[in-house]
Structure 1
Amino acid sequence: MNTFKALVVRENNGYINYQVENHLKKDMLDDGEVLIKVAYSSVNYKDMLAVQKNGGVIQSYPMIPGIDFSGTIEESTDSNYAVGQQVLVTGYNMGMTHTGGFSEYARVPSSWIVRLPENLSMKEAMIFGTAGLTSALSIFELEKNGMNTSLDQAILVTGATGGVGSIALQILSKAGYKNITALVRRKNQVQVAKKLGAQKVILLSDFEFKKKSLAKQTFNYILDTVGGELISNLLPYVCYQGSVSLCGNVGGIKLNTTVLPFILRGINLIGIDSVNISQDYRQMIWSKMAKEWKITNSTLFTDITLDELPDTIQLLKEGKHLGRTVVDITK
């Protein structure tokens, strides 16, 4: 590798700019034992925040964003990883304080690497990406708290046509859940959610929230991707001994609630982190996504090139982005 191409975010006199740059040199990449030729990355909400002023993601500039990627090892000083091996990386500080996946090359610590599971291609790994990992973690944790296909439990997925929500609907449907409700904001998202596996779809504007501490018991489980006021308003509707997983903050970071749903109905609130989980946990969840939870052949996704990435980021910022977007770095 002499030079390479990447999306670069730069700061100049308080202004943040980002664009695809060519002829970047190897010293642009942060340190690590393994150099990887990137094949695919994906677009996540956090990636959109990374290119915004005061987005709270990037700490210093210049930076190559992109919180996940898959690719082939080109150089390695760690004997556990060989040249030519196909791998994937998600989370940690990638695309934040460590140069990330929107690049033809990435250099990372070997401790961040996940070996590509059998029955999963590099492209399929990024159809899932960080959003898929987060979805699978949410479902796994809800199942640990009693969600079960053998029971007729009402499950609600918020942000159901976004990256995390769209994959969650598909995994739930493939797993055999039959009472899945999707909560969406726009009418054009209703049919999309149904195609993804929802049996029922609720428009946010049609849901009449009762402004009280406890409302009618409606949902046994909620997989929330939004946060903020929305989940605050939904907690009173959770059934006795139900559970809610939280993995997003697009709706805000504040949670305004009372203790009553917790002490009178015994509900559980489960935080989902996909950034710093252990390698054993990562490998186990990726194995499930490569086998019984594999839905990549039916996932709603769009292919783009690195040069098209800025336009997709803008759509995500405007709330017009549906499903998953895979960035084909090889084109």
Structure 2
Amino acid sequence: MPEDGIRALLLEEEEGKIVANLTQVSEVDLPDGDVTVKIDYSTLNYKDGMILTGKGRLVRNYPHIPGVDFSGVVETSNSEYFKPGDRVVLNGWRVGENRWGGYTTKTRIKSDYLVHLPENISNKQAMGIGTAGYTAMLAIIALEEHGLMSGDEGEILVTGAGGGVGSVAVSILANLGYNVTASTGREEVHTFLRNLGATSIIMRSELEEPIKGPLGSERWLGAIDNVGGIILSNLLTSMKYDASCAAVGLAASPKLDTTVVPFL
């Protein structure tokens, strides 16, 4: 490996198929940015899986380095907000999709995309939380900003609860004192979800049953949906008056077949 060689998972398109190789790139090949980061950790997310397999055509330009998040240490900086040695984390900004991401040992990035890590969170812990934990917390914050309070009586529904975002959401909500109902299609994760704090579990198939009429019975005080499709359509008809749903995933489908009635 040359002195400036950087290890990376590089995606290339060959005859319409995505081919991944663990290889090396030069620092001169890194994208534009005012901060260079030595990457310690990244995570594997749903979007990463789509990009690695070429589904959805999320990436249009190759060669490409995936990875929608990372934590690491600043190596060089032209930003007044970061200096060499600073520990940083990145989530989002379509990194790993429309610009090179975290599946590499070094990257160059815009300082606007970076966040300083606090002393009590290690680089490894930051990616243990990862984009899944970040998304879960954003969803909970959104619900609370729209009036949800832990003292309120009622159930909070988390769909796709056995996944990354869902399981973290269950854990955080339970620790905040909410009554959490976890939805999953996998019986083998029931004990896991109860250990995280779910007070009840509802099978995915129950939420997929057709609703008679534009509204169902009011049940959910709030909801975090990771699934989309028919489940999101159905749960919207069963939200309590003035309740909110944070829709953060499309694991089942991006389609939403509903009416305006639940929103009146």
Alignment correspondent of 2:49: 48
- Match for residue 9 of structure 1? 11
Contact 2:227–2:249 (8 Å) recurs in 1: yes
Q: Could you give the per-residue CA deviations for residues 222-251 of structure 1, whole angstroms, max 9, x where no partner exists?
A: 111111221012211111111111111111
Query: The residue matched to 2:57 in structure 1 has which SS?
Result: coil
Structural RMSD (CA): 1.4
Q: Deviations over 1:262-302 (max 9, x none)?
A: 11xxxxxxxxxxxxxxxxxxxxxxxxxxxxxxxxxxxxxxx
**CA contact 1:211–1:233 (8 Å) conserved in 2:** no
The CA distance in 2 between the partners of 1:19 and 1:215, in whole Å, is: 50
What amino acid is aligned across from residue 239 of structure 2 in structure 1? V
Q: Does 1:193 align with 2:197?
A: no
Distance 1:233 1:161 in 2: 20
The code of the aligned residue for 1:51 comes to L
Residues in 2 aligned to 1:150 and 1:79: alpha-carbon distance in whole angstroms? 43
Aligned counterpart, 1:240 = 241
Residues 55 and 28 from structure 1, CA distance in 2 versus in 1: closer, same or farther, beyond 3 angstroms?
A: farther
The AA in structure 2 aligned to 1:173 is A
How far the C-alpha of 1:64 sits from its partner, in A, is: 0.4
Report the secondary structure of 1:42's partner residue.
coil
- Structure 1 residue 168 displacement after superposition: 0.5
1:183 partner amino acid = S
Contact kept, 8 Å, 1:147 with 1:153, in 2: the verdict is no
Q: Which residue of 1 aligns with 2:136?
A: 135
Match in the other structure for 2:182: 182
AA partner of residue 196 (structure 1): L
Within 5 Å, give how 1:76-87 maps onto structure 2.
76-87=77-88
Contact 2:154/2:219 (8 A) holds in 1:
no
Instruction: Report the alpha carbon displacement of residue 205 of structure 1 after superposing the two structures with TM.
Output: 2.5
Superposition deviation, residue 206 in structure 1: 4.1
Residue in 2 aligned with 1:256? 257
Q: Corresponding residue for 1:146?
A: 147
3-state SS, counterpart of residue 36 of structure 1? strand
Q: Which residue of 2 aligns with 1:228?
A: 229
Query: 2:39 touches 2:107 (CA, 8 Å); kept in 1?
Result: yes
- Which one scores higher on RCO, CA 8 angstroms, separation ≥ 6? 1
Equivalent pair of 1:194/1:200 in contact (CA under 8 Å): yes
Which residue does the alignment assign to 2:220? 219
Residue pair 2:42, 2:67 contacting (<8 A) in 1 also: yes
Q: Is this contact kept in 2: 1:36–1:107, CA < 8 A?
A: yes
Mapped to 1, the partners of 2:151 and 2:234 lie a distance apart of: 28
Counterpart-to-counterpart distance in 1, 2:239 and 2:57: 32
Deviation string, structure 1 residues 200-220 (Cα, Å, up to 9, x no partner): 011112444433211111111
Please report how far the alpha carbon of residue 31 of structure 1 lies from its aligned counterpart in structure 2 after TM superposition.
1.2
Q: Deviations over 1:154-178 (max 9, x none)?
A: 100001011111110111111121x
Residues 74-113 of structure 1 aligned to structure 2 (within 5 Å): 74-113=75-114
Which residue identity is paired with 1:225?
Answer: N
2:158, 2:57 → 1: CA distance? 26
Counterpart position of 2:115: 114
Cα displacement (A) at 1:56: 3.2
- For 1:124, give the aligned amino acid: Q
Structure 2 residue identity aligned to 1:6: A
**CA distance in 2: counterparts of 1:250 and 1:56, whole angstroms:** 16
1:44-83 deviation digits (Å, cap 9, x = unpaired)? 1111111223423212101000010000011112232110
Secondary structure, aligned partner of 1:18: strand
Counting aligned pairs with the same residue, the percent is 39
One-letter identity of the residue aligned with 1:80: Y
